[in-house]
């Protein structure tokens, strides 16, 4: 059965680009979002997120009538669920996945579900979530049959196909990346492949739903552990007076070594979150994954302590200055280079803490954020405001900082740009 109308639930960083990809292949797409404001923006042909090239694709899709957004789901041939899956609490021991958005989306599509439909869970999910979705749909629609009971003969097919795209490169990676397809039955997988092959040029690799869930979590946990290794090395090297950037570039000359880069910590809404979905399901077995989370989460405080120590040293070597006269400059607030995304940004946390602890003035420069923006007491400035700073704290390796000359004064370089 072909897919004439596709509905994407959740018009965020993944749902909107995915909807736009189908619409660009001239398939009718209904985008669903609980936020009326987001729906209005999309229906005007605009976008509410920053992602290169997406604005043109969405504008064309809406103008040509292939994409429209609504608040309440309507009947369709396939439903893709792309809503957030945060964790419930920041308490170290109980970071349980919060599936309320996923289950809310499932409840919202249940009334319009019909025989022949395909439901795909794209949201990053703990192992077993796709089976939970299938059970909830079966409870809500006893008039239909589902693959957990009827296998490939079921009325409705269900699969987990996790998104794996990198923010900033979503339009290219949606098309080029391989796709993991985890159907609850073989028919669920083959229908999901038909759906994605509309625009995916990468290989669609079939597995079961639980392995697909774990594959996505594994990818992000693997990156988190590798970044933790780099962050731990940077702290060790600091105590041994070794340049960690030089060290890593030397070690990486070995043909089987590829160490990632240390930084101020791990930010964003994926890598700092997803490993907890493994830890919360298998707490006794996830020792390394949990330790890596702690190393990465502790790095911002290590940076703040470093700045504090440098301010004290500076006052000792410059007795003519009072504590109120020391100017600290923070370079970059986003969670990674060349984007404006501040979500879970370790650099933001550091800038807020340094602003609070420094008795003098702290100025931050973030080339991707408007100077008018109000950011939790942070003072935003321009590059030339920072020339007279005594302590220069480089937090994000934005291209603007890579191009500028190394400033004079005390340098604390978390990204190896001026080191």
Give the residue numbers annotated as catalytic, written as ranges.
216, 270
Stretch that binds ligand SAJ, among 136-144, 181-189, 263-271, 359-367 (CB under 6 A): 263-271
Q: What is the largest CA-CA distance in the chain?
A: 82
On the 0-12 / 13-18 / 19+ scale of CB atoms within 10 A, 210 is: middle
User: Which C-beta is closer to ligand SAJ: that of 164 or that of 191?
Assistant: 164
Q: Which residues pair with 380 in a beta bridge?
A: 364
CB of 23 to ligand SAJ, least distance (A): 21
The yes or no reply on residue 304 touching ligand SAJ (CB under 6 A) is no
Q: Give dist(CA 197, CA 145) in Å, integer.
A: 26
CB of 29 to ligand SAJ, least distance (A): 21
The yes or no reply on residue 270 touching ligand SAJ (CB under 6 A) is yes
The structure tokens listed for 101 are 């958005």
Q: Give dist(CA 397, CA 37) in Å, integer.
A: 33
Strands across the sheet with 157-160, in order?
67-70, 28-32, 5-9, 78-81, 118-121, 157-160, 179-183, 204-208
Stretch that binds ligand SAJ, among 36-44, 89-97, 186-194, 266-274 (CB under 6 A): 266-274
Q: Give dist(CA 122, CA 361) in Å, integer.
A: 45
Q: What are phi and psi of 167, to 5 degrees?
A: -50, 135
CB of 261 to ligand SAJ, least distance (A): 4
Residue choice 271, 330, 350, 378 for contact with ligand SAJ (CB under 6 A): 271
- N residues, the chain: 419
Q: Is 5 helix (H, G, I), strand (E, B) or coil?
A: strand
DSSP strand E in 247-289: where?
none
The yes or no reply on residue 166 touching ligand SAJ (CB under 6 A) is yes
User: Which C-beta is closer to ligand SAJ: that of 154 or that of 174?
Assistant: 174
Residue choice 182, 183, 268, 360 for contact with ligand SAJ (CB under 6 A): 268
Task: With both helix axes pointing from N to C terminus, report the angle between 274-281 and 209-240 in degrees, rounded to the nearest 10.
Answer: 110
How do strand 179-183 and strand 157-160 relate by DSSP bridges? antiparallel
How distant, in Å, are the alpha carbons of 112, 225, 297 from that of 228? 45, 5, 9
Task: With both helix axes pointing from N to C terminus, report the angle between 36-43 and 54-63 in degrees, rounded to the nearest 10.
Answer: 80
The yes or no reply on residue 277 touching ligand SAJ (CB under 6 A) is no
DSSP strand E in 63-213: where?
67-70, 78-81, 118-121, 157-160, 179-183, 204-208
The yes or no reply on residue 56 touching ligand SAJ (CB under 6 A) is no
User: Which C-beta is closer to ligand SAJ: that of 223 or that of 281?
Assistant: 223
Measured torsion, CA atoms of residues 300, 301, 304, 310, in degrees rounded to the nearest 10: -110
By CB under 6 A, what part of segment 87-126 binds ligand SAJ? 124
Letters for 196-235 (x = contact with ligand SAJ by CB under 6 A, - = none) are: -----------------------xx--x---x--------
User: Which C-beta is closer to ligand SAJ: that of 80 or that of 270?
Assistant: 270
Stretch that binds ligand SAJ, among 49-57, 69-77, 88-96, 258-266 (CB under 6 A): 258-266
CB of 231 to ligand SAJ, least distance (A): 7
Cβ-contact 14, 163 below 8 angstroms = yes
CB of 286 to ligand SAJ, least distance (A): 17
User: Which C-beta is closer to ligand SAJ: that of 339 or that of 354?
Assistant: 339
CB of 64 to ligand SAJ, least distance (A): 28
The yes or no reply on residue 351 touching ligand SAJ (CB under 6 A) is no
CB of 260 to ligand SAJ, least distance (A): 3
The yes or no reply on residue 10 touching ligand SAJ (CB under 6 A) is no
The yes or no reply on residue 336 touching ligand SAJ (CB under 6 A) is yes
Residues at the site binding ligand SAJ, with contacts judged by CB under 6 A: 124, 163-167, 219-220, 223, 227, 260-261, 263, 266-268, 270-271, 335-336
């Amino acid at each position: 059965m072909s897919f004439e109308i596709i509905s994407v639930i959740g018009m965020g960083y993944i749902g909107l680009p995915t909807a736009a990809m189908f619409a660009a292949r001239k398939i009718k797409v209904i985008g669903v979002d609980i936020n009326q404001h987001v729906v209005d923006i999309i229906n005007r042909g605009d976008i509410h997120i920053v992602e290169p090239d997406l604005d043109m694709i969405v504008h064309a899709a809406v103008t040509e009538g292939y994409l429209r957004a609504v608040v309440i789901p309507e009947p369709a041939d396939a439903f893709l669920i792309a809503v957030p899956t945060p964790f419930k609490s920041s308490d170290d021991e109980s970071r349980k996945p919060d599936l309320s958005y996923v289950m809310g989306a499932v409840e919202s599509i249940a009334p319009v579900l019909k025989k022949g439909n395909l439901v795909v869970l794209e949201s990053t999910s703990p192992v077993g979530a796709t089976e939970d979705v299938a059970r909830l749909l079966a409870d809500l629609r006893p008039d239909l049959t589902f693959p957990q009971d009827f296998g490939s003969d079921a009325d409705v097919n269900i699969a987990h196909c996790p998104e794996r795209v990198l923010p900033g490169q979503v339009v290219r990676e949606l098309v080029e990346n391989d796709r993991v397809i985890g159907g609850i039955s073989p028919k669920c997988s083959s229908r999901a492949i038909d759906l994605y092959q509309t625009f995916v040029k990468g290989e669609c690799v079939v597995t079961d739903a639980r392995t697909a869930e774990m594959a996505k979590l594994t990818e992000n946990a693997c990156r988190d552990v590798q970044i933790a290794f780099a962050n731990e090395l940077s702290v060790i090297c600091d105590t041994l007076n070794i340049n960690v950037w030089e060290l890593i570039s030397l070690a990486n000359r070995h043909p089987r070594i590829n160490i990632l880069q240390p930084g101020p910590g791990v930010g964003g809404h994926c890598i700092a979150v997803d490993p907890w979905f493994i830890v919360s399901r298998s707490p006794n077995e996830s020792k390394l994954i949990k330790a890596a989370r702690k190393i990465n989460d502790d790095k911002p405080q290590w940076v703040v302590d470093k700045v504090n120590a440098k301010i004290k040293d500076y006052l000792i070597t410059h007795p003519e200055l009072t504590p109120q006269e020391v100017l600290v400059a923070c370079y970059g607030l986003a969670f990674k280079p060349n984007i404006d995304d501040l979500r879970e940004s370790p650099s933001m946390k550091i800038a807020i803490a340094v602003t609070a602890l420094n008795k003098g003035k702290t100025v931050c420069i973030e080339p991707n954020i408007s100077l008018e923006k109000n950011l939790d007491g942070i003072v935003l400035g321009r590059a030339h405001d920072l020339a007279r700073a005594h302590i220069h704290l480089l937090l994000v390796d934005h291209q603007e900082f890579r191009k500028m000359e190394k400033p004079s004064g005390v340098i604390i370089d978390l990204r190896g740009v001026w080191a």
